[in-house]
Chains A and B, each alone.
Chain A
């Protein structure tokens, strides 16, 4: 008797984990592809160079940029803010490296210099966002909205309005090379995720970010100083967007000032929210963001593979965001709580939710 209740309890906990649904969704998409082509999941080894080849490998490679910006977005959203500029910062980073490499040599030294320059600029832009939010007290959406549009303008200024391309073997290797058979770009992305995850969870940064997002007043009373944390988080988001931009342009060694990173903030927000971080801030999940990013990459590839017009995906993603907003809204959550109350399930009532419902009712009806 005990074993089966333990199992059902464990199952219930599993289904409540948003990551679970993300993984299910990925499986469903892969299944759709499998239906169209039974050999979809096949992975083979290219005898010439030992590289792994297959659709799954392509998905992994394509997921690298989204992984990066989702990581940064998760932290920013956790503090109760948002970063709408990640797509534009990607473009700026890409533009910087391409313009630099166009005139520089094709040696590895130039590649590293280009990297340093573009990542540095991206971090600076992130820092500006952070300073506006933390020190000036601007609302995050307006400061990153301005950065989003000004950033794209900056990218155009850097390239003089042209789509710039460049030649550099080392730089190209970032997105096109392979390490132990797997695309380097994915390996790098995972390494970055692990590194950031390590820093965030091993240090107290993650705890402070969550505390600020959940209850800024209580955090202040506990002695948490929000400014440094906000600065760090937005700078990191900018830096990660720079990495994403590097991945993106390195693939084709071209920066498209209008299209690079365009609307990718949508993907990042979606990945973070699917992964279980609430848009209102608070607890965040890096693993969830990773699953969300992989889901987005799979979705993009699936749409292409099934022959559906790719212009449909932004609309679909927007609808999903609206649905998730609703699901996370207090009103809907309270409705679920009331349903549970009526069916008199076990467990104490979540007092906070119901008290909030009453407060909402007062505010609405007063």
Chain B
């Protein structure tokens, strides 16, 4: 592959706008035949938006797309497929109720006078699978009989059946183990050698360095750079992804110092031993002490939210156990978590946080009311007290408790939710990305609130993809990578965002 060849796909100056939000601003991408090209970026960088812009799922407000030199625009996945651009998504978009062979050939079955000729169709499927080393599969078996890893390979095989020249793999390795990843990479190399252009979206740094030839980095909807993989070292890559100058990272420390605790004697407020869930988190130990702010840092997909969900009861643990005040607790639902004085503020405000058509007041008291049960309503007087207290303390604007929460800005919605959790008087408050998508002013207010909480004796788990925030607020920092805890750092004057980056960038010893 030489840079003088015509790109299989070239996107120039792509801008995608939604009401009030610019998801992509002047982004470019070049894919050459016979290469594996990585698309990198943190959450909200715009990776999936770029892919959807390419396949025509999203309309572009500016920019052009050309396929093999010709300018094209697509109207959807089917259209893009017809032009040879196939996408395999993380959720393996196949239909598990049909057979393997049928999934490979669906929409392109071999037909005869009497309708679909199944023998020919299955034969064609077997041949296509054989080309990827999967010829041993019985194509008559149901797709659901295969593991996710193999299903993914079947999805790729389907892309080849339709003679795709461009293959987009969106987070294909998130649910795979090491052997399965090796199998996938073997297939990818084979396809690359056949001249297919592969766009590989992933956040697993080690894998990127193993398989990709070049990479494009996005941040906040903007194009940061395009580099041959060999030319960019891990530290530089991470720095570019989080948008901080490599040298400046060192400056981003807080003055927090881990409180001197005699860990041997003091019992942690909450202690989780070996908690894990298949596909989301490897068995992990975590402790949080009274009045402590524990930060959880890691790149996208490292397992931060998964850990939070397990600690709060949003998901049930498959392995390990959780103990509060030394006694084992069964966190089988968020209600159970709240009953144990654990409150969890999710990262997905819109779908799992606000009840849009209810007022600020109703949203704020919902958690406390749920604890009390429907038969014991919170009195108007108490409601007003709660609402006034938190609207003032958190600075909710407009300060109108009877406004529908969906009409508030994101930052103020977050504050109302924070009020909801605080009203339940939790001992442990887990905040997952509380400042995401919020303006600078509101961000500062929320960070201040977190610090005050800890001072008043509550424990806080603070999860954020902004390393400087984590470093500024936390006493201790747990670092996650690829669904595992890889480090625990005690904050101090010599700890900065650089420290965390170093920890993550360190190559796997395994």
Interchain residue pairs with CB less than 8 A apart (18): A204-B375, A204-B377, A205-B374, A207-B358, A207-B366, A207-B374, A210-B357, A211-B355, A218-B354, A221-B334, A222-B366, A223-B337, A228-B374, A282-B357, A283-B357, A358-B58, A365-B57, A366-B57
Query: What separation, in Å, do the CA atoms of A223 and B344 have in the docked complex?
Result: 10
Interface-side segment among A16-24, A25-33, A346-354: A346-354
List, in ascending order, chain B residues with CB within 8 A of A195's CB.
none
Query: What separation, in Å, do the CA atoms of A202 and B376 have in the docked complex?
Result: 9
Query: What separation, in Å, do the CA atoms of A366 and B51 have in the docked complex?
Result: 12
A208-B370, A211-B358, A217-B352 known; A362+B58 contact, CB < 8 A: yes
Chain A CB within 10 Å, residue with most, of B367, B370, B376: B370
In A271-320, the 8 Å CB interface with B consists of 282-283
Across the interface, name the chain B residue whose C-beta is closest to A357: B19
Query: What separation, in Å, do the CA atoms of A211 and B378 have in the docked complex?
Result: 16
Query: What separation, in Å, do the CA atoms of A221 and B367 have in the docked complex?
Result: 9
* B333–A218 CB distance below 8 A: no
* B19–A366 CB distance below 8 A: no
Query: What separation, in Å, do the CA atoms of A349 and B204 have in the docked complex?
Result: 39
- The yes or no answer to A15 lying at the interface (CB within 8 A) is no
Q: Residues on A close to B: CB < 8 A?
A: 202-205, 207-208, 210-211, 214-215, 217-225, 228-229, 282-283, 348-349, 351-352, 354-355, 358, 362, 365-366
Query: What separation, in Å, do the CA atoms of A210 and B52 have in the docked complex?
Result: 35
Q: Residues on B close to A: CB < 8 A?
A: 18-20, 52, 56-58, 75-77, 314, 333-335, 337-339, 344, 346, 351-358, 362, 366-367, 369-378, 406-407, 420, 424
The 8 closest A-B pairs by CB, nearest first: A223-B370, A223-B335, A223-B338, A204-B374, A224-B370, A204-B377, A205-B374, A354-B19
List, in ascending order, chain B residues with CB within 8 A of A225's CB.
333, 335, 370
List, in ascending order, chain A residues with CB within 8 A of B334's CB.
220-223
List, in ascending order, chain A residues with CB within 8 A of B333's CB.
220, 223, 225
List, in ascending order, chain B residues with CB within 8 A of A221's CB.
314, 334, 344, 346, 352-353
Give min CB distance, A223 to chain B, whole Å. Answer: 4
List, in ascending order, chain A residues with CB within 8 A of B19's CB.
349, 351, 354-355
Chain A CB within 10 Å, residue with most, of B52, B352, B366, B420: B366
Query: What separation, in Å, do the CA atoms of A282 and B373 have in the docked complex?
Result: 19
Which applies to chain A's interface (DSSP): helix, strand, loop or mixed? helix
* B369–A208 CB distance below 8 A: yes
List, in ascending order, chain A residues with CB within 8 A of B353's CB.
218, 221
* A358–B18 CB distance below 8 A: yes
| A-B contact number at CB 8 A | 107
* A214–B355 CB distance below 8 A: yes
Query: What separation, in Å, do the CA atoms of A330 and B172 have in the docked complex?
Result: 33
Give min CB distance, A108 to chain B, whole Å. Answer: 33
* B335–A352 CB distance below 8 A: no
* A229–B374 CB distance below 8 A: yes
Across the interface, name the chain B residue whose C-beta is closest to A219: B355
Query: What separation, in Å, do the CA atoms of A360 and B1 have in the docked complex?
Result: 40
Give min CB distance, A228 to chain B, whole Å. Answer: 8
Contact of A215 among B20, B338, B354 (CB under 8 A): B354
List, in ascending order, chain B residues with CB within 8 A of A202's CB.
377
Give min CB distance, A197 to chain B, whole Å. Answer: 14
List, in ascending order, chain B residues with CB within 8 A of A208's CB.
369-370, 374
List, in ascending order, chain B residues with CB within 8 A of A207's CB.
358, 362, 366, 369, 374
Chain B CB within 10 Å, residue with most, of A208, A221, A351, A362: A221
* A204–B338 CB distance below 8 A: no
Give min CB distance, A74 to chain B, whole Å. Answer: 16
* A214–B356 CB distance below 8 A: yes
A362-B57, A365-B57 known; A218+B355 contact, CB < 8 A: yes
Give min CB distance, A133 to chain B, whole Å. Answer: 17
Across the interface, name the chain B residue whose C-beta is closest to A225: B335
* B378–A351 CB distance below 8 A: no
List, in ascending order, chain A residues with CB within 8 A of B338's CB.
223
Give min CB distance, A13 to chain B, whole Å. Answer: 14
* B369–A204 CB distance below 8 A: yes
Across the interface, name the chain B residue whose C-beta is closest to A205: B374
* B351–A218 CB distance below 8 A: yes
List, in ascending order, chain B residues with CB within 8 A of A215's CB.
351, 354-356
List, in ascending order, chain B residues with CB within 8 A of A348's CB.
407
Query: What separation, in Å, do the CA atoms of A282 and B176 have in the docked complex?
Result: 40
List, in ascending order, chain A residues with CB within 8 A of B406's CB.
352
Give min CB distance, B289 to chain A, whole Å. Answer: 25
Chain B CB within 10 Å, residue with most, of A202, A358, A366: A366
* B20–A349 CB distance below 8 A: yes
* A203–B375 CB distance below 8 A: yes
Give min CB distance, B74 to chain A, whole Å. Answer: 10
* B354–A365 CB distance below 8 A: no
* A214–B366 CB distance below 8 A: no
List, in ascending order, chain B residues with CB within 8 A of A214's CB.
355-358
Query: What separation, in Å, do the CA atoms of A366 and B56 have in the docked complex?
Result: 8
Query: What separation, in Å, do the CA atoms of A4 and B346 have in the docked complex?
Result: 45
Give min CB distance, B338 to chain A, whole Å. Answer: 4
List, in ascending order, chain A residues with CB within 8 A of B377's CB.
202-204
A203-B375, A208-B374, A358-B18 known; A222+B57 contact, CB < 8 A: no
* 11 extra A-B contacts, CB within 8 A, seeds A211-B358, A218-B352: A202-B377, A203-B375, A207-B369, A217-B352, A218-B353, A221-B344, A223-B333, A282-B357, A283-B357, A351-B19, A366-B57
List, in ascending order, chain A residues with CB within 8 A of B374's CB.
203-205, 207-208, 228-229
Across the interface, name the chain B residue whose C-beta is closest to A363: B57
Across the interface, name the chain B residue whose C-beta is closest to A348: B407
